[in-house]
Amino acid sequence: MMYHEFAQFYDQLMDGFSYEDAYNFINEYALNKGKNFKNILELACGTGNFTRELIADDRKIKAVDLSDDMLAIAENKLRNTGVEFFKMDMKDFIFDEKFDLIISTCDSFNYILSKDDLKIVLKNVYKHLEDDGLFIFDLNSQYKFEGFEKIYIDEFDDVFYTWENFYDKKDRINMYSLNFFVRKGDLYDRFYEEHYERAYPHEEVIEMLKEIGFNNIDSYNDYESNKELETANRIVYIVSK
Ligand SMILES: C[S@@+](CC[C@H](N)C(=O)[O-])C[C@H]1O[C@@H](n2cnc3c(N)ncnc32)[C@H](O)[C@@H]1O
């Protein structure tokens, strides 16, 4: 199972990523353009780090994830903030309302492993988006997967971990094999998870977005103003309906 025990280490592993900077970028390049984004849906919210950035007095926020463990951490972190959490799959989430902004950060969409399924997710987003709404998501790029180190080894606090990447160039699926060793006195508890992410070439993503009916497709090299995508590790898409 993915994001089970790993959930408790997720925030430490994301230490190098600034959710605040990502939010500031989105605010400057998309949200701060006249419209008021009052009704927001976050897909694959994880432990709620980006959700926290979205919180503002006049906003209603709903956040969805598939993992009980990630959701439990998010709910605990954002207690009494008014954010509503739901255990749902991005592929078939359903709400009887539409949203001004639908957003998903940090390569959650790479977890959708086939083009057909990604189309289903994108169609579902389209259905739930207000006519003048915005949709923002990011993807780890094919360039990143192709250049991955085979293995990372690191430690933090009482946790030692190994992170191995197995990328299949043909089907463009990367398997992360994660081992965590957590010190318990003189011994270590071991937790193991396998995660799968798929790379989608940029042109293929643009084609899918257009086919579904999205407009004004804008893309950036990570959460930065740079639009040079060839060597981007993460591509951020900002699109409207
Ligand atoms: C890399 S984490 C990103 C979490 C969060 N968006 C962030 O920025 O930190 C990927 C998340 O996607 C969730 N996820 C993967 N597949 C999903 C699906 N089909 N539906 C909903 N959530 C999914 C996982 O449970 C995990 O919380």
Q: Which atom of ligand 1 is nearest to the CA of 3?
A: 25
Q: Which atom of ligand 1 is nearest to the CA of 2?
A: 25
**pTM summary value:** 0.97
Please work out whether the CB of residue 67 comes within 6 Å of at least one atom of ligand 1.
yes
Domains present along the chain, CATH in parentheses? 5-142+201-240 (3.40.50.150), 144-198 (2.20.25.110)
3-class DSSP string for the chain: CCCCCCHHHHHHHCCCCCHHHHHHHHHHHHHCCCCCCCEEEEECCCCCHHHHHHCCCCCEEEEEECCHHHHHHHHHHCCCCCCEEEECCCCCCCCCCCEEEEEECCCHHHHCCCHHHHHHHHHHHHHCEEEEEEEEEEEECHHHHHHCCCEEEEEECCEEEEEEEEEECCCCEEEEEEEEEEEECCEEEEEEEEEEEECCCHHHHHHHHHHHCCEEEEEEECCCCCCCCCCCCEEEEEEEC
Please work out whether the CB of residue 53 comes within 6 Å of at least one atom of ligand 1.
no
Please give the pLDDT value at position 2: 86
Each residue's pLDDT tens digit, 173-218? 999 999 999 999 999 999 999 999 999 999 999 999 999 999 999 9
**Which residue of 54, 65, 139 sits with most ligand 1 atoms within 8 Å of its CB, as the best mutation to test the pocket?**
65
Whether the per-residue pLDDT at 34 is higher than 80: the answer is no
**Which residue of 26, 91, 108 sits with most ligand 1 atoms within 8 Å of its CB, as the best mutation to test the pocket?**
108
Please work out whether the CB of residue 106 comes within 6 Å of at least one atom of ligand 1.
yes
Whether the per-residue pLDDT at 29 is higher than 80: the answer is yes
